[in-house]
Amino acid sequence: MATELEAIRQKLLAHKQELLARAAKVRADITRSSGPLDKDFAEQVVQMENDAVLAGIGEATAAELAQINRALLQLDQGTYGICSQCGQPIGDRRLEVLPYSDRCIACAGAAR
Ligand SMILES: [Zn+2]
């Protein structure tokens, strides 16, 4: 069990690095494209749309990072793999697909 949790921790940390790299790239892209807008109106619209898309990716990445950080904290506290809503074990299969999930499949399904 302990080695299993260690494997999950490594997986989470690797994914976190990946997300941080992606977030840094998104930020760099936003900075680059948020220069003075083009005089041509059609070009301005395209530029603003690009910014919105990039910001959207940043938001999703930030949310995922928060989930990973929470999962890492739970690993430290020994509460990893427990559903935050019903307190039941989340299940190995679900954790394998979504290692930072904090709800069991029943609660995640009910929330939708
Ligand atoms: Zn649950």
Amino acid occupying residue 9: R
- Percentage of residues in the chain with pLDDT exceeding 90? 46
Q: In terms of domains, do 72 and 85 share one?
A: no
Q: In terms of domains, do 35 and 75 share one?
A: yes
Distance 106 CA to ligand 1 centre (A): 6
Q: In terms of domains, do 19 and 60 share one?
A: yes
Q: Indicate the pLDDT class of residue 35, thresholds 50, 70 and 90.
A: low
Q: In terms of domains, do 75 and 94 share one?
A: no
User: What is the pTM for the complete model shown?
Assistant: 0.70
* pLDDT of amino acid 75: 94
> What range defines the domain where residue 94 resides?
81-112
Distance 50 CA to ligand 1 centre (A): 38
User: Which residues are CB-neighbours of 84 under 8 A, at least 6 positions away?
Assistant: 102, 103
Q: In terms of domains, do 73 and 22 share one?
A: yes
Distance 35 CA to ligand 1 centre (A): 47
For 65, how many CA atoms within 13 A lie in the half-sphere containing its CB?
15
Q: Is the separation of the CB atoms in 11 and 5 below 8 Å?
A: no
Distance 43 CA to ligand 1 centre (A): 48
Q: State the average pLDDT over residues 74-84.
A: 94
- CB neighbours of residue 16 within 10 Å: 17
The SS3 assignment for 89 reads strand
The total number of structural domains in the chain stands at: 2
Q: In terms of domains, do 71 and 98 share one?
A: no
